[in-house]
Copies of this chain bind each other. A is one copy, B any other.
Amino acid sequence: MSLVVQKYGGSSVADAEKIKKVAKRVVEAKKRIDHIVVVVSALGDTTDELLSLARQVSSSPPEREMDMLLSTGEQVSMALLAMALNELGQEAISMTGQQVEILTDAGHTRARIRHIGAERVIRELRRGRVVVVAGFQGVTTDGEITTLGRGGSDTTAVALAAALHADYCEIYTDVDGVFTADPRLVSNARKLDRVSYMEMLEMAATGAKVLQARSVEYARKYGVRLYVRSSFHEGEGTWVVSEDEIMEKPIVSAVTHDFSEAKITVKGLPDKPGVAAQLFGTLAEANINVDMIIQNVSENALADISFTVGQEDLAKAKEVTLKIANQLGAEDCRFDENIAKVSLIGAGMRSHPGVAASMFNALADKGINIEMISTSPIKISCVVRKEEGEKAVKALHEHFGLSSEANG
């Protein structure tokens, strides 16, 4: 018996017409697949509209009430899709996070899934029904409604696929799959047939928008095979699977970019134990996500620390950094929004030294200066001037031959 979890994002269910198209697609799939569970996001702009209403009535809405509010979006789309499926003669039933028993912790607006019951999902599937599940939402053991944070519907789909031991989990989205670079920037970017969980995680962390890191982490942890494909046409997508499933491992799989970060530099910090811990501990307490961190020791036992944060956090980060830098006796703080992060991702890098040098050369050839460098076994990220970001992405995509099948 085959079982597949399909997830449709907000743009795939933006209006009644699109919901009817999704229903047709599910009915088609039901001819080949025994059991289908569909996870849906909220209709198109619903979440933004609800957020706007919340902002109109409150400057700091309680997070519990935000969850109450936002979880309605998915409830609307799941009910409509179940109706559309029944209209096509396919018995279907919608279920809330509570009904599925998607139990989470009490971390409102960013809850984590603790356990999925899913007994009723299985019962309904056995009756021949398609089960339509609200993405993004869960419930605590106290019956409080929670939401899973950004990209939460992907997480719902992957977690359900794991709990139901699904054959795989299809993520329907408004792009055709995972590409060697953003096709809007690089016209000859190529769709990847397969990519490993680790590569996908690095891509998500370095700016690729197609999947949220959290759902990929979940998929990796539970060995859920993901298939990312377009909800608007039938073409092949991209498999996100374990490295063992990928025969031919290219050294470099993709170039990603992130133009939404800002750089903060604290200069002249006393170079003694505990300084970095104090700085980043304070930032963490203020709920500011720090991405890259670089430290150089300068003369006179003084250190410079640079790090990047999301531009949306910059205002808060500025305030916190200035305060703690002052306490620590730093000489100066600088804030720079004018940066781009460009990254090279590839599982094959592990066994091929010299990729970093090749990357730096490619950038130097184009006269692009590198301001920060950060590496992992399968990733190299460089921070450059923002106005050179696009040129850097194109240069690296070209240099590593990513547009053609054979690369290296």
Contact = CB atoms under 8 A, between A and B. Distances in A.
Interface string A53-79: 110111111101110110110011011
Given A57-B19, A57-B80, A87-B59, A94 B75 contact: no
A160 to B, nearest CB: 18
A16 interface: yes
A166 to B, nearest CB: 24
A87 B62 CA distance: 9
Q: Summarize A's interface: helix, strand, loop or mixed.
A: helix
A62 B75 contact: no
Interface of A: 16-17, 19-20, 23, 50, 53-54, 56-62, 64-66, 68-69, 71-72, 75-76, 78-84, 86-87, 93-94, 96, 98-99, 143-145
20 contacts: A16-B53, A16-B56, A19-B57, A20-B57, A53-B80, A54-B79, A57-B80, A57-B81, A57-B84, A58-B87, A59-B87, A61-B86, A62-B82, A62-B83, A64-B93, A66-B79, A68-B94, A69-B76, A69-B79, A72-B72
Given A57-B19, A61-B86, A75 B68 contact: yes
Closest 9 pairs between A and B when the two form their complex, measured CB to CB: A16-B56, A69-B79, A68-B79, A72-B72, A58-B83, A57-B84, A58-B87, A61-B83, A65-B79
Contacts of A50: 76
Given A53-B80, A69-B76, 18 more contacts: A16-B53, A16-B57, A20-B57, A23-B57, A50-B76, A57-B84, A58-B83, A58-B87, A59-B87, A60-B87, A61-B83, A65-B82, A65-B93, A65-B94, A66-B79, A66-B83, A69-B83, A96-B145
A82 to B, nearest CB: 5
